[in-house]
Chains A and B, each alone.
Chain A
Amino acid sequence: KAGVTQTPRYLIKTRGQQVTLSCSPISGHRSVSWYQQTPGQGLQFLFEYFSETQRNKGNFPGRFSGRQFSNSRSEMNVSTLELGDSALYLCASTSALGSTDTQYFGPGTRLTVL
């Protein structure tokens, strides 16, 4: 069974641009979460989707948004990029709400904002 995949793996953007990152969960998994990892703040929760609905959102500005499609694939969008948005963005999937299973993480998308 294929793992969580994220595309692209690397991105370089300039301030003010916008970016879209994609995450494909493990087949059959319906819950997708997104995290931002930076050296200063560590891993921070962005948002979580289940059945195309955002169920939980972390403490990030409105420039960060996401969505989930009917096939459970998810995208996150960051508009008006700032230097501080440079980070490793990780997505994780799990089979269902309240699952006792672990969350499986993808390899991440490394975003660099110049």
Chain B
Amino acid sequence: KQEVTQIPAALSVPEGENLVLNCSFTDSAIYNLQWFRQDPGKGLTSLLLIQSSQREQTSGRLNASLDKSSGRSTLYIAASQPGDSATYLCAVRDFGNEKLTFGTGTRLTIIP
């Protein structure tokens, strides 16, 4: 059974700093891994999708990496802004399955 863990559960950093969010999963037989953002009381916004054959994906100030063999992914946010404050969730999709297994999220606060 796939299990996804995100550490830390909460993180506060001053505006302008670079930061890294971590995600680990137990079963490396994954189809892809996605990073989502969730604002309070809202749905999920997809940030980056990494296929199992890829090592990283970039979108603007965001860079996500995937190390399938070690069961780890990181989300790097450069030059953080107050608008980046949200909960960040990683989710793994296993082979042969449309189901996503989510981590518990990291609540990020950017301090102006």
Contact = CB atoms under 8 A, between A and B. Distances in A.
Main secondary structure of the interface of A (DSSP, over half): strand
Contact of A43 (B97, B98, B102): B102
Interface string B56-81: 00000000000000000000000000
Given A43-B89, A56-B97, A97-B98, A110 B41 contact: yes
Contacts, number: 56
A107 B98 contact: no
B100 interface: yes
Given A56-B97, A56-B99, A42 B104 contact: yes
Interface string A13-52: 0000000000000000001010100000011110010100
Interface residues of B, number: 22
A102 interface: yes
Interface of A: 4, 31, 33, 35, 42-45, 48, 50, 55-56, 58, 88, 90, 92, 94, 97, 100-108, 110
